[in-house]
């Protein structure tokens, strides 16, 4: 469950702007603010079932975008590569200016 929430939060970060304002708000409240369906339903004046349908439709849209574009997967791959470079750099005798430049690059890649 936690992994799915984390994945949806990432998808929302990357592709949230493609959703309607209403869907984006519901998704943010559900995944980022951890509000219940009932709390969100009260906020928007709709049923819990209506909230659930908005969430399911939004999840589907975000997942489809990731399948087509793969931005989250690329980001995760780049972050993992940066961590690998950092760990290998620790075991190398690299001149300080080069080490600092590499660490700046890896830090930027993980943002």
As a whole number of angstroms, the distance between CA 18 and CA 80 comes to 27
pLDDT digits (tens, 9 = 90+) for 15-33: 999 999 999 999 999 999 9
Please report which confidence band the pLDDT of residue 110 belongs to, taking 50, 70 and 90 as the band edges: low
Domain boundaries of the chain, sorted by first residue: 2-69, 73-109
Q: Which fold has domain 2-69?
A: Arc Repressor Mutant, subunit A (1.10.10)
- What confidence score (pLDDT) does residue 4 get? 81
Q: Where are the alpha helices (DSSP H) in 16-47?
A: 21-27, 37-44
The mean-pLDDT minimum among 12-16, 55-59, 92-96 falls in 92-96
């Amino acid at each position: 469950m936690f992994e799915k929430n984390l994945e949806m939060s990432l998808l929302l970060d990357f592709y949230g702007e493609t959703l309607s304002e209403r869907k984006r708000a519901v998704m943010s409240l559900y995944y980022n603010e951890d509000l219940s369906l009932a709390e969100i339903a009260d906020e928007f004046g709709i049923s819990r079932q209506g909230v659930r349908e908005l969430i399911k439709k939004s999840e589907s849209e975000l997942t489809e975008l990731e399948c087509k574009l793969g931005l989250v997967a690329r980001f995760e791959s780049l972050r993992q590569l940066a961590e690998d470079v950092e760990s290998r750099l620790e075991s190398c005798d690299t001149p300080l200016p080069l080490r600092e430049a590499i660490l700046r690059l890896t830090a930027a890649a993980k943002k």
